[in-house]
Amino acid sequence: MLGIDLRGKLALVAGVADDQGFGWAIAKALKKAGAKVIITTWPPALNILTMSLERGKLDTDMGPGEEKLSFEKIYPLDAMYDQMQDVPEDVKNNKRYQNLGDFTIRGLRDSIEKDFGLNKLNIVVHSLANGPEVQNALIETSRAGYLAANSASAYSFVSLVKHIGPIMHKGGSFLALSYLAAEKVIPGYGGGMSSAKAALESDVKVLSFEAGRRFQHRVNVISAGPLASRAAKAIGMIENMIVYCEKNAPLQDHLTAEDVGQTAAFLSSDMAKGITGSVIYVDKGMHAMGMAVPEDYTS
């Protein structure tokens, strides 16, 4: 039987805050395939996440004979900052950030090197996105809101490759998450988030060349369909997006986080060692459609 085998691999999933989103599903799929998994979470969410895990509130079914989902380490990460000197004083003094050590991308790299050693990390998944003005139309988005969306959702991936790529085992896999708004108009997906996703997909292509030549790492991105995660609900119209896709996509069954998780596990494995610089769609084929399906259409 041909199966995904990640035994002996160490994976990092950046951006897990609960058990509802793609990040959690990817971490679960990597674990089921045999990988050891590290996760990061936003500093203000760290205590809630760790307490929920300790109390068994996030226990999940791993399948017959599988061990309980657990993580090697949980690190705080605010991917808006590359190093501590970039962090404003009001953030450093915020009680939700205090006593966490270095929560920047550079700090994450240093922690991984210290805790696991050089050349031990094989897989990095970027499940980070934030747009403070996502409910604003692009034309009504402030410069600060636009730049914040791109910093948190696109440049953070560039920074992860820059900082963590050199300490990874050669031939590693980087993976990001995007959305169809990178290439088509999704009314309501505002605040510069569509621009950030477009930048992310472009950066994946460039980074696949640069990281490939420097480190032999692969760099890909999954363009996932809409999912009603807690984070996505901040958009305010996620249910409409889901209904529209289910009515108009070639495959009408419900997209699940597990669909994305399993694809991520495949792309992170040696089975996909010939794939880099690619946008992989996991959206039931919605990206292929050029117009809505007429109400009276019958196959």
What number of other Cβ atoms are within 10 A of residue 292's Cβ? Answer: 10
Q: Is residue 156 pLDDT above 80, yes or no?
A: yes
Q: What is the mean pLDDT of the chain?
A: 93
Q: For residue 86, give Cα distances in angstroms to 90, 102, 103, 108, 205.
A: 12, 11, 11, 15, 27
Q: Are 139 and 126 in contact (CB under 8 A)?
A: no
**Is the entire prediction scored with pTM above 0.85?**
yes
Which percentage of the chain shows pLDDT scores above 90? 80
Q: Is 26 helix (H, G, I), strand (E, B) or coil?
A: helix
Please compute the mean of the pLDDT values over residues 17-41 and round it to a whole number: 95
How far is residue 76's CA from residue 78's CA, in Å, rounded to a whole number? 7
Q: pLDDT grade, residue 61 (50/70/90)?
A: low
Q: Are 205 and 174 in contact (CB under 8 A)?
A: no
Q: Is residue 228 pLDDT above 90, yes or no?
A: no
CA angle 178, 124, 269 (to 5 degrees): 95
Q: For residue 64, what pLDDT is reported?
A: 62
Quote the tokens at residue 44. Answer: 């203000």
3-class secondary structure per residue, 146-212 = HHHHHHHHHHHHHHHHHHHHHHEEEEEEEEEEECHHHCCCCCCCCCCHHHHHHHHHHHHHHHHHHHH
pLDDT digit string, tens, across residues 232-266:
566 667 788 888 998 999 998 889 999 999 999 99
Q: For residue 55, what pLDDT is reported?
A: 80
Q: Is residue 66 pLDDT above 80, yes or no?
A: no
Please compute the mean of the pLDDT values over residues 32-45 and round it to a whole number: 96
Q: For residue 249, what pLDDT is reported?
A: 94
**Contacting residues for 49 by C-beta, under 8 A, at least 6 apart:** 16, 17, 18, 41, 58, 74
Domains and their CATH numbers in the chain: 10-288 (3.40.50.720)
Q: pLDDT grade, residue 65 (50/70/90)?
A: low
Q: For residue 48, what pLDDT is reported?
A: 92
The residues carrying an active-site annotation are: 179, 189
Q: For residue 122, what pLDDT is reported?
A: 98
pLDDT digit string, tens, across residues 173-186:
999 999 999 999 99
DSSP string across 90-102: HHHTSTTTTTS--
Q: Is residue 230 pLDDT above 80, yes or no?
A: no
Please compute the mean of the pLDDT values over residues 65-78 and round it to a whole number: 85
Q: Are 253 and 291 in contact (CB under 8 A)?
A: no
Please compute the mean of the pLDDT values over residues 147-162 and round it to a whole number: 98
Q: For residue 143, what pLDDT is reported?
A: 98
How far is residue 72's CA from residue 118's CA, in Å, rounded to a whole number? 16
Q: pLDDT grade, residue 269 (50/70/90)?
A: very high
Please compute the mean of the pLDDT values over residues 70-82 and round it to a whole number: 96
